[in-house]
Amino acid sequence: MPENQEKKEANIAWFRANLGELVKNTLMQGKFVVVYNKAIVASFDTFDAALREAVAQFPADEFAIQQVVADNEVINLIRLAL
């Protein structure tokens, strides 16, 4: 696996490990966060805004963008979509 991909995977793993705490923060709920070097460096209301900022600041494939939602919220959204 290329080094950049490993960094991205490490950021995703960090996010998943910390998601439980993040969803407790009402200011973070529903936000799209940019994770770089296993830390949240910015949060945005939309994925597009997060992506524009991340691409402008960080090397490609070294960051991750994740939405702060609890697992049960994702399941509910899928049910509503069906």
Q: What phi-psi label fits residue 81: left (phi over 0), alpha (psi between -120 and 50 degrees) or beta?
A: alpha
**Percent share of the chain, pLDDT over 90:** 74
Q: Give residue-wise pLDDT tens across range 49-58.
A: 999 999 999 9
Q: Give residue-wise pLDDT tens across range 34-47.
A: 999 999 999 999 99
CA–chain centroid gap for 26, Å, is 16
